[in-house]
């Protein structure tokens, strides 16, 4: 550590000891890594997150073909764009879709901008949003729906407001303190029963108490739901 500090401060090492070339190169690399990590943490208050799909990168043992899901491919591409731009990722060629799972989270794929309760912004291509209200990592799911035995088949009772589209677009998901998550942008919700609902905006229940899941019906106020 003393060696690294001296190197960064431009002090003459020869007073204390003589370094060989390898030692100098190692110290230089360590100083660069530290500078890089500092500049990354200062990036405009925006953070970049990705919620990995476990099936990403898999190759079918039977066909030998790439068996990545659409969301995994989108995630790969997002990472490449992120590396190139060092900023907001470019629009990906995938529509925004949300699978309302049976007794589990809402799995959203697309060009997602997530606005947290504190106003911080994150980008993602895949999010698993808690629907049961018990996650310790709200708004994302941490698997608590299993322990809490969250029962909801994921039926969708509302009708579409607009037509579905394969065109890519952006969606902004905002977390409301002690309330739902809202979305703005085309979102196609679907479930295991073949039901679907396409909307441009809406409020999604994350307290687990709504009678019209996956949408919020205001029950979070009645039940005193707390998000943090």
In the complex, minimum distance from the CB of residue 29 to ligand FES, in angstroms, rounded to a whole number: 49
Contact 89, 179 (CB under 8 A): no
87, 118, 187, 196 from 190: Cα distances, Å: 31, 30, 10, 4
The whole-angstrom separation of Cα 95 and Cα 133 is 27
Give 143 or 218: the residue with its C-beta nearer to ligand FES.
Answer: 218
Give 123 or 215: the residue with its C-beta nearer to ligand FES.
Answer: 215
Site string for ligand FES, 208-227 (x = CB under 6 A): -xx-----xxxxx-------
154 binds ligand FES (CB under 6 A): no
Give 191 or 210: the residue with its C-beta nearer to ligand FES.
Answer: 210
Q: What are phi and psi of 88, to 5 degrees?
A: -60, 135
15, 28, 33, 207 from 7: Cα distances, Å: 13, 8, 13, 53
Return the DSSP state at 66: B
In the complex, minimum distance from the CB of residue 112 to ligand FES, in angstroms, rounded to a whole number: 19
Give 188 or 206: the residue with its C-beta nearer to ligand FES.
Answer: 206
Give 191 or 227: the residue with its C-beta nearer to ligand FES.
Answer: 227
Nearest by Cα to 206 from 119, 127, 106: 106
Q: What are phi and psi of 66, to 5 degrees?
A: -65, 120
Site string for ligand FES, 173-212 (x = CB under 6 A): ------xx------------------------xxx-xx--
Residues near ligand FES (CB under 6 A): 179-180, 205-207, 209-210, 216-220
């Amino acid at each position: 550590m003393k060696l690294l500090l001296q190197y960064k401060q431009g002090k003459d090492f020869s007073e204390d000891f003589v370094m060989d070339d390898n030692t100098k190169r190692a110290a230089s690399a360590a100083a660069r890594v530290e500078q890089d990590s500092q500049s990354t943490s200062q990036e405009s208050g925006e953070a970049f997150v990705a919620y990995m799909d476990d099936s990403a990168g898999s190759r079918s043992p039977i066909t030998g073909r790439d068996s990545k899901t659409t969301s995994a491919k989108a995630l790969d591409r997002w990472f490449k764009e992120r590396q190139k731009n060092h900023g907001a990722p470019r629009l990906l060629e995938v529509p925004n879709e949300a699978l309302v799972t049976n007794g589990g989270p809402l799995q959203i794929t697309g060009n997602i901008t997530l606005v947290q309760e504190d106003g911080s912004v994150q980008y993602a291509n895949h999010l698993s949003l808690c629907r049961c209200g018990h996650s310790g990592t709200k708004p994302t799911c941490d698997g608590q729906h299993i322990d809490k035995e969250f029962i909801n088949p994921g039926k969708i009772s509302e009708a579409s407001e607009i037509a579905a589209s394969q065109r890519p677009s952006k969606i902004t998901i905002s977390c409301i303190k002690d309330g739902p998550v809202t979305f703005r942008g085309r979102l196609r919700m679907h479930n295991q029963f073949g039901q679907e609902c396409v909307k441009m905006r809406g409020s999604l229940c994350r307290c687990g108490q709504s009678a019209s899941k996956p949408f919020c019906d205001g029950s979070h106020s009645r039940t005193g739901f707390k998000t943090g």
